[in-house]
Structure 1
C-alpha cells in the first residue's frame, strides 16, 4: 500500500516541477507612464533640453518632443519638497526653487540638478530668483526671506532688502535690458530698482492684497498681478500704478509675453486672460475646467503649454479666441 502512495506522490512532484519550468504565456506589464496630466505642477519653462516642468514631491520632468513623452530629471538629492518655480538665465543654466529653502542648480538645461541649498530647520519656501547684471543671484520667498549667491548659484547666504517686513515675497522680475527690476509680494509689497538691482526702494503701496507676479512690457511699462482679479499697470517703471480692468475675480499666477506684445495671464478656473493694450484691459480667451493654471509657455507654433494643479495642459493656438463672457467688469 505504501509503494503506490509513494509513487503517486513522486509523480505529483515531477509534474509540478515540469509545469514550473515549462514555457507559458505571461500577460505583459503595462508601459510605465509619468502621469503629467494628473500631477500638481507649479512651473513650466523651455531650455535647450526641451520643456521642463516641476511641482509635487520635488518632481522635475523634461520633454524633448514638445510634451509627447517625459523623463525624470536626475537630482543629486531627493527631498520630496514641493518645487515652486524653475528659472533659466540662459538655455543651459538655471535654478529650481522649493520649500525648506531648497535650491537646485542645472548646467545642462534641466536634465540633471545639483542641490546647492537646503534648510529643514529654518527653510521657508522660496518663490522666485533671478541673476542680476552684477552676476549675483537673488532669491526671494516666504516671510521676507532673501538669499544671495555671489558664485553663480553655487552657494547661498542670507541677505536683506530695505524696509522689508515678514510679508511673503512672490516674484522678482526685470526689464529686457536688466536695468530696471521689480519685487512683488504679500500685502501689496513692492520694491523697485533702477540700477540693475544694486539698490532697492519700497514702492508707495497701491494695493493691500497679495501680488503674485510682475512683468516688464517694454519701455517704461510694467504689469503686476495677484489675488481676486487684481492687476495693475505702470507707465513709469513702477513709480505709480493704475488698476487694470479684469473681467473675472480670479487669482492670477503666471504670464507669458508674446513677440507681438500680447500679454497672457493665467489663473484660477482654467482661465487665460489676454491684453493687447499694455495690460490696461484684459479679456477672457479661455475658460476650461476647474484647475488653477500656474504658468504658461507659448510654443513657436502658437501652442499653449500650461502647468496647473491638475496636471499639464497643451492647447492649440486656435484655442486663443475670446469667449462669450469676455467683457470687462
Structure 2
C-alpha cells in the first residue's frame, strides 16, 4: 500500500537462508486475542475454500471463518500482526501473510494456524502469497521482499530478483557492489519497489506493485520479465476478466485493461478519485472494482461500461468475492454481504 534487462552476470539472483525465528524466545510473538467484534474490525483479504468455506484475514492477527457468510468464527492464530493476504491450495492447507514478515499455515481448513516465518527485525510486511502446489510457494512484500519455499513452508528462503530492477537501478547496484560493499548490502533491501499482488493466470504469474511496476513469469517466479510501465502510480491488484482481458487497478481511481497479455494497456474512464484496492471477476461476466471511500464499480460487458455502486457509508472496501449469489466484501469496518440481486 505498491525495460531493457542487463546481463544477470552483473546482478545474479541472490538467495539468503531462512529468517524464521523460533530459537530466540524474546522474538516469539503474542497470540491474537479472541475478539467479539472481530468481524467488525479492519479486514484485508478473503478467499473461498472449495466453495464451502470463507476465510477472511485482517488486523491484529484476526482470521475469520464462515460456512454461510452470516456467522463468523475466529480462528486460533499465534500472532497479533496485521495480516494482508490468505491463500488455500486445497480444502485443508492454507497460508496467510502480513506484517513482521509473518507467514502462517493451517492444515485443518483454517481453524488453527502455526507460525512458519516471523522476522520483525526486517520491519517489512508481506503483502501476498501464492502456492503452485502443496510444496512450492512464494510470498512477496514491501521493498521487493521475496520469499520462496519448496517444502510446504517448513523453510522459507529470501531471494533478490535482480531482473525486476529498473535498468538504471541495475547499473547503480553493479557499480555499488564494486565501490561500497557495505552500502550495497543496505541498498539490496530498499532499491526494489513494493510488490503488492500476485496473480496466477494459467502458467503465467503476474506481479504488480509500486510506481507502475508490472512483471510476469513463466516458470513459477524463478525468472521474471519486467513489462513496460504504463502508469507512474502504484498498482494494487491485477486479474483476468471473464472476457479474457487483463485488468489492473491502483491509486486515485486508475484502472487499466490489456487485450494483449500486458503488452499494451488502455485506461478505463471512470469518474472516481478514490484509490482502487482490488479487482475480481466471478466467472459470469461480472467484473468488480473496489476501493477507498466505499468505491464499488461493476461491469457486465468486460469493461466497456461500468455502473457506480459505491457504498453510501464511505468506508474503504479492501477486497471481496462472489459466493453463492452474494457479494462478500472485506472492509475497514469488517464484513459486508450484498445480494447480487440488489445490484441489478
The TM-score, its normalising length taken from structure 2, stands at 0.77
Which segments of 5 or more consecutive residues in structure 1 lack a partner in the other structure? 1-31, 322-329
1:212-243, CA deviations, whole angstroms, 9 ceiling, x for partnerless residues? 00002268621110110101111111122111
Counterpart of 1:309?
Answer: 332
Q: Match of 2:68?
A: 65
Equivalent residue of 2:143, what SS?
helix
Measured on the aligned residues, the alpha-carbon RMSD in Å equals 2.1
Query: 5 Å matches for 1:173-192?
Result: 173-175=199-201, 177=202, 179-192=203-216
Contact residue 44 and residue 53 of structure 1 kept, 8 A:
yes
Tell me the residue number matched to 2:197. Answer: 171
2:247 corresponds to 1:247: no
Equivalent pair of 2:39/2:64 in contact (CA under 8 Å): no
Do 1:184 and 1:190's aligned partners in 2 also have CA atoms closer than 8 Å? Answer: yes
Q: Is the 8 A contact 2:287 2:300 kept in 1?
A: yes
- Please give the residue correspondences for 1:40-55 in structure 2 after superposition, counting only pairs within 5 Å: 40-47=42-49, 50-55=53-58
Q: Is the 8 A contact 1:171 1:184 kept in 2?
A: yes
Asked if 1:113 corresponds to 2:113, the answer is yes
Bigger radius of gyration, 1 or 2?
1
Matched residues, number = 284
Q: Give runs of aligned pairs for residues 114-193 of structure 1, distance below 5 A.
A: 114-132=114-132, 135-161=135-161, 162-164=163-165, 165-175=191-201, 177=202, 179-193=203-217
- Equivalent residue number for residue 28 of structure 1: none
Matches within 5 A, 1:82-101: 82-101=82-101
Query: Residues 122-144 of structure 1: CA distance to partner in whole angstroms, max 9, x if unpaired?
Result: 14100011123695211110011
Runs (5+) with no aligned partner, structure 2 = 1-33, 166-190
Alignment match, 1:6:
none
Q: CA deviation at 1:33?
A: 7.5
Structure with greater contact order relative to length (CA < 8 Å, sep ≥ 6): 2
Aligned-partner SS, 2:108: coil
